[in-house]
Amino acid sequence: MASALSSRVAGSRLARPSGRASRFVVAAARPTWYPGATPPKHLDNSMLGDYGFDPLRLGSKDKEVLNYYREGELTNGRWAMAAVAGILFTELVGRGGNWWETGANVESSFDLKTLVIVEVALFAVLEAYRARAYEKTGETGLGPFAPFDPLGMRSDETRLKELKNGRLAMLAFLGFSSQAAVQGLGPIACLQKHLADPAHNNIFTSSVGAEATIAVIALGILPTLIESKNVLQGTDEEEFRPIPW
């Protein structure tokens, strides 16, 4: 009887996970930006596309700031999707020269000063409307004002796809801009050059090869450094400060 009771007590002690262990189990149960990551407390998986990625804790101040940053991410993602599509189209049709010079080569009956004034005034109106829409609905798009949604554009699935495609487009635009600065070529021309000789035409053999190598190594060891910090810290309370002063 006593031995059975002691074995049950011992078993219960072994079965009870520590607070930190249970925290890692919960973290592993949701998608994260790398396997086994422990998301910060303010990223509680209540938003679409939340993978626990906020290394600088930009959204940790309050929920309103986090929502504002999310809308900013969506807005920049939408602009990036339009830019990436425009860049690829410009290079495919072969008109206007390099994509970063296309605007300068477009003929117009208006002089540059007039165009700047018109565009500034137009965007001031649009930005004011966007700010008021955010104050009323918490969103900056036109979705909340649409009278109907036959295509299901406001479904969680579609909104998540928009968010993911926007993130990919922002990375793509960063890549296009880097190619233009380093190679002086558009994305399609760079792809053709790479496919012609992959071993010699890649980012590691370019003029920024050393920087690219360091960046890849840093990104590769970043998850290990984060997890090592979490283990050595030995507490469930976050004491992370991106700027130590």
Angle subtended by helix axes 156-182 and 63-93, to nearest 10? 60
Supply the DSSP string of 31-79, one letter for each residue.
--SSTT----TT--S-STT--S--TT-TT-S-HHHHHHHHHHHHHHHHH
Check the annotation: does 164 bind a ligand: no
Supply the DSSP string of 180-191, one letter for each residue.
HHHTS--HHHHH
Check the annotation: does 42 bind a ligand: no
Q: Which two tokens stand for residue 99?
A: 């994509």
Amino acid, res. 141: G
Check the annotation: does 167 bind a ligand: yes
Check the annotation: does 222 bind a ligand: no
Check the annotation: does 13 bind a ligand: no
Burial class (CB in 10 A: 0-12, 13-18, 19+), 68: middle
Check the annotation: does 108 bind a ligand: no
Amino acid, res. 78: R
Check the annotation: does 78 bind a ligand: yes
Check the annotation: does 157 bind a ligand: no
CA distance 178 to 196: 20
Closest CA to 173 of 102, 81, 91: 81
Check the annotation: does 194 bind a ligand: yes
User: Which residues contribute to the annotated binding site for chlorophyll a?
Assistant: 60, 73, 161-162, 165, 167, 179, 194
Q: Which residue ranges are tagged as binding site for chlorophyll b?
A: 78, 116, 142
Q: Cite the annotated binding site by residue number.
A: 60, 73, 78, 116, 142, 161-162, 165, 167, 179, 194
